[in-house]
Structure 1
Amino acid sequence: MSDQSRALPDRPSLRYLKLEAKRRLSAGEFATLQLAQLAIAREHGLPSWTALKEQIEAAGPASHALTQVRWVMSRFAAADTPGWTPPDEEELRGHFDDDYLSLLPPGRLSGLLGSVAGQLREDLVDVRAEPRRLRARVAGLRVEAATGGEPPYRLRELRFYPLETKVADPRLEAPETRASGVVPAEADSVAAESFAELGLVGLMLAGGNGDGSVWVTARGWADLDQGDVLLPDHRFPAYSITQLVTATAVLRLVADGLVRLDAPANAYLRTIRLADDDVTVRHLLSHAGGVDSPASMFAGRVPELVSVTGPAASCNGRRGTFGYGYGEYAMLGQLIADVTGTRYEDAATSMVLRPLGMTASWFPRGRPVSRVVMGHHLTDEGVFERAPARLSVAPASGGLWTAAADLVRFGLGWSSLLPGALAREALQPQAEFPGGAAGLGWMLVPPKDVAGHPGAGPGFSASLVIRPGTGQTWVILTNRRVLVEPINERLIRPLT
């Protein structure tokens, strides 16, 4: 029994402590369960298990997400030691919901968790726990988790991200800020906090409301080597956010009667065909077509798509099941081109960009040079270097370059290009995944009335989020590839 007193976490879990007592009993540390429980109580400065239980119950409702993450840590902490036995499928299904395990099968999940066993032996820190959600750090990993809303509160999300290398680049001191429109004070605060915490070179936050007003705040540098200050009208690659433009163009063809959502996509494809004749347009829009992504998504110049896919695009995924990739939207770009008789880029510009006044947005086929931002990556020494200039090989999947204000205009106005019923259908779940669902182009979190799409590529990250119920829109653009979810969380919650 340990003589060292331990502090209870902010939201202690009685269930976790019960499991810990059973684990220590099984390990032979104690002769009876009662002795194990007594030891744990005393380690937390209390005279008995009953006193420990009463203190925990008085602390209020526990976080189910924290409880489940602690089980994961306890169960897999010894995965790299001889004699450890991985949990079987039945045990895992007691802690992970069926949707999660359909995307990450039990064997694969155990292998991934086992690969970080050494870090799972450390304590959780910087814990931000809600009843069904958790954000924290453990050793060199960031942890994000969420559970379902009903008992037994199994995990429907669990992600471990490596923590960023600490930035030690003196050029990042005293970043300048430039703005356009009336920027909310909360947005300026979020920009300053996120810029420092995430170690960014440049950060653009933008937003708009149902009245059509748009604001942009830009912080940092467009090109650190040249010392170019980031300005609100600088252009970034949107990468996968492009798929929302593509989806809107397809839905315009549906509205015009030129395409049917539930018709086979091969009914409209001419230049390139799908290997699976049963994949529908709806399947492609909701990432449920099973179409393979290109082997390499980026190049110095944009090639002809047929040279990337061949004359028949392979479909090795599970049709009807969500599987995010770039192949579906590459083929939707080809469908748009075949139906309209023009290049995808020209059709998307005339059907979406121009009607919404997105004059600072376009689809370059070679590296753009006018008013564009340079991407950056961080070296092991914590110093920034320019990222190689790369373009998406499939313009309809990731080829849009744009300004923040233009993306806000898209978020505010895309539905005006479609009949009301079709716009509403675009925001209805079509294919579910842990933590959300895919609509027709949009990624949805229905309980939060949030829809959007991320984008990331060499040297850049981006995010577009809308709140359909209010018409509000937020955009994040950075010229470093990082996870922007913490910025989304800070930006959206204070402003709503």
Structure 2
Amino acid sequence: MHRTTRSTRAATAVAAVASLALVAPAAVAAPERPDGPAVPDQQARSLEVSRAAEQATAEQAKIKVKGTPPGRSTPATDALDAGMEKVVTDGAVGVTVRVESPGLDWRGSAGLRDVDGKPPAGWQDRFRVASNTKTMIATLVLQEVERGTWTLDTPVEDVIPGLFPDHPDVTIRQLLSHTSGAPNGTAELLMTRIEDPSSLEQMLAALGQDYADQEHVDAINAGQWGEPGQFFYSNAGYVALGMLLEEVNGQDVGALLQQRVFGPAGMRHSSYPDEPGLKGPALREDAWVGEGWEDGWLELDGFDPDVFSHAGAAVSTTADLAAFNEALLTGELVDPGLLAEMMTPAAEGPMLYGLGLYAVPDPCSSDPASPGLLWGHDGASYGTFSVSLGSADGQRQVTLGVTGRDLASELVGEQPRWNIGDVLVPALQASCS
């Protein structure tokens, strides 16, 4: 399907599109919105866009939800089924969800694998997990601390001299906790390949190109840094951590993840690709861009994971993400003492972000005045949102992936057509079973 008919509106904010991917969670204190940029209340939408949205989702709404088997429903599982159906009806392409708790082992899906009408989404489907990759990278880094390779307060300069020539005091802890002052880096990187910021074609071409890790670092070295100690979400900082891991191990990050994370955690369907495309049953990358393309949808099959590298290149499933989070939180992958470091917030502010992990209030807490916490991460690629959260004892896990990101609304500061909270909230509540 060709998408070459543009409108003026869609071609005027390419730089803004670049800044949308892999952003820090905007409201970790509010489970109903754990991912993506903060947005104001719903604004009036044009009739033209509304009609296009309705047409684009008409076929999706016909897809039967693959959720609770007949005769086994409860109020909690009914809410899960309804939540999946709602996000698809509202405009998502496909959704896959998994809830694990002592009283419930549930999985479901709804919508399509691809906006072009391929097979229905499945609960076992793979998807890009984006910034959930950061927790995996942080796990490798903490394993090196356990081995004595470095400490959390080792300067990056001691591992790769000159990596940050104007910031030689940056430490491994600061990169893990996003407190080094480093810029985000993703938009800065893409802009090195784009001559005309108003050209959507150039943007798409940039998303499909190869990038060396050093290019990520060069992009932020050329930019303005913030004050060390303050939280500022940096994708390039995690790219640098991957470079440190490769420097001391003599192996690429993909091999290290397979040996020391995927294998030990039982993640049999996870991978760390460095080329475009998703193999096997998968939720494809599709983004809603409004009337800027002939049918409103932007397919991202040519997206190259080098754009994110160690900050977000991993592909996984809900089952594998749950297995990883459980293995991490129960001390199977990282020494319990170092795990405590990972779970200690590193900076003041609304985000309870530690070292590659953050926390949200646990809706199952018996004392609402002093709620417990769920730990994990989220991810936002250009087409897919993902969330993985679990209780500190590992007994409860909530994981999900949703494709069909609404870039058109986010670019202009409007509420996206579908709300990930419509499926995340019932999933969190169902984990109380």
TM-score by length of 1: 0.62
Is residue 2:360 matched to residue 1:468? no
Matches within 5 A, 1:156-175: 160=40, 162=42, 166=50, 167-168=53-54, 169=56, 170-175=58-63
Residue number among 451, 460, 474 corresponding to 2:375 in the alignment: 451
CA distance in 1, matches of 2:244, 2:31: 41
1:284 to 166, 171, 175: 175
Instruction: Report the CA distance shift for 1:272/1:350 in structure 2 as closer, same or farther (over 3 A).
Output: farther
Q: Is the 8 A contact 2:155 2:168 kept in 1?
A: yes
Structure 1 counterpart of 2:85, from 195, 204, 223: 195
Instruction: Tell me if 1:177 matches 2:30.
Output: no
Pairing 1:23-62 to 2, within 5 Å after superposition: none
Whether contact under 8 Å (1:374, 1:386) holds in the other structure is: no
Between the two proteins, the alignment pairs up a number of residues equal to: 343
Give the letter for the 1:375 counterpart. E
The range that moved more, 200-209 or 248-257, is 200-209
Closer, same or farther: CA 287–235 of 1 in aligned 2, 3 Å? same
Match of 2:310 among 376, 389, 396: 396
Shift, 1:245, TM fit: 0.5
Alignment partners' CA distance in 2, 1:181 and 1:262: 51
Structure 2 gaps of 5+ residues are: 1-28, 191-205, 362-370, 407-418
Read off the aligned partner of 1:175 and give its amino acid letter: I
CA–CA separation in structure 2 for the residues paired with 1:336 and 1:271: 16
Report the equivalent of 1:230. Answer: 121
**Identical aligned pairs, as a percentage?**
22
After TM superposition, give the deviation of residue 469 of structure 1 in Å: 4.7
* SS of alignment partner, residue 474 of structure 1: strand
Alignment of 1:84-483 (within 5 A): 160=40, 162=42, 166=50, 167-168=53-54, 169=56, 170-178=58-66, 185=74, 186-187=76-77, 189-197=79-87, 198-209=90-101, 215-269=106-160, 272-273=163-164, 275-294=166-185, 295-296=188-189, 299-310=207-218, 313=221, 316-371=225-280, 372-380=282-290, 385-389=297-301, 390-392=303-305, 393-414=307-328, 415-434=331-350, 436-445=351-360, 447-469=371-393, 471-481=395-405, 483=419
- 1:320 counterpart letter in structure 2: G
Does the 8 A contact of 1:271 with 1:334 survive in 2? no
User: For residues 168 and 133 of structure 2, what CA distance do their matches in structure 1 show?
Assistant: 26
Q: 1:309 deviation in Å?
A: 2.5
* Residues 309-339 of structure 1: CA deviation (Å, up to 9, x unaligned): 2398457121111111212111111111111
Give per-residue Cα distances to partners, 1:259-288, cap 9 Å, x unaligned: 200111221225844531111111111110
Kindly report the root-mean-square deviation, in angstroms, between the aligned alpha carbons of the 2 structures. 3.3
Between stretches 254-263 and 380-389, larger displacement belongs to 380-389
Q: What is the DSSP-based 3-state SS (H/G/I as helix, E as strand, rest coil) of the residue aligned with 1:432?
A: coil
Contact 2:97 2:123 in 1 (8 A): no
Deviation at 1:202, TM superposition (A): 0.6
SS in structure 1 of the partner of residue 264 of structure 2: coil
Report the counterpart of residue 487 of structure 1 in structure 2: 423
More strand by share: 1
Amino acid in structure 1 at the alignment position of 2:215: S
Kept in 1: contact 2:384–2:401 (CA 8 A): yes
Q: Distance in 1 between matches of 2:119 and 2:133?
A: 26
Kindly tell me: are residues 380 and 450 of structure 1, through their superposed partners in 2, closer, same or farther at Cα, counting changes over 3 Å? same
**Aligned residues of 1:188 and 1:217 also touching (Cα < 8 A):** no
Q: How far apart in 2 are the matches of 1:490 and 1:337?
A: 40
Matched residues in 1 for 2:96 and 2:296: separation? Answer: 18
Q: Is the 8 A contact 1:180 1:232 kept in 2?
A: no
Task: Return closer, same or farther for 1:313/1:293 CA change in 2, 3 Å cut-off.
Answer: same
Whether the 8 Å CA contact 1:179–1:231 is kept in 2: the answer is no
TM-score normalised over the length of structure 2: 0.70
Q: Where do 4+ consecutive residues of structure 1 move more than 4 Å?
A: 132-135, 161-166, 179-185, 381-384
For 2:38 and 2:213, locate their aligned partners in 1 and report how far apart those are by CA, in whole Å: 35
Instruction: Decide whether the 8 Å contact of 1:214 with 1:408 is kept in 2.
Output: no
Shift of 1:378: 2.8
Residues 401 and 161 of structure 1, relative CA distance in 2, 3 Å threshold: farther
2 CA distance for matches of 1:217 and 1:310? Answer: 43
Structure of greater relative contact order (alpha carbons < 8 Å, 6+ residues apart):
2
Tell me: CA distance 1:210–1:283, structure 2 relative to 1, closer, same or farther (3 Å).
farther
Q: Which amino acid aligns with 1:310?
A: D
Distance change (3 Å), C-alpha of 1:209 and 1:313: farther
Cα distance, 1:234 vs structure 2: 1.7
AA aligned opposite 1:350? Q
CA contact (8 A) 1:305 1:394 kept: no
Aligned mates of 2:274, 2:352 — CA distance in 1: 32
Between stretches 319-328 and 369-378, larger displacement belongs to 369-378
CA contact (8 A) 1:280 1:289 kept: yes
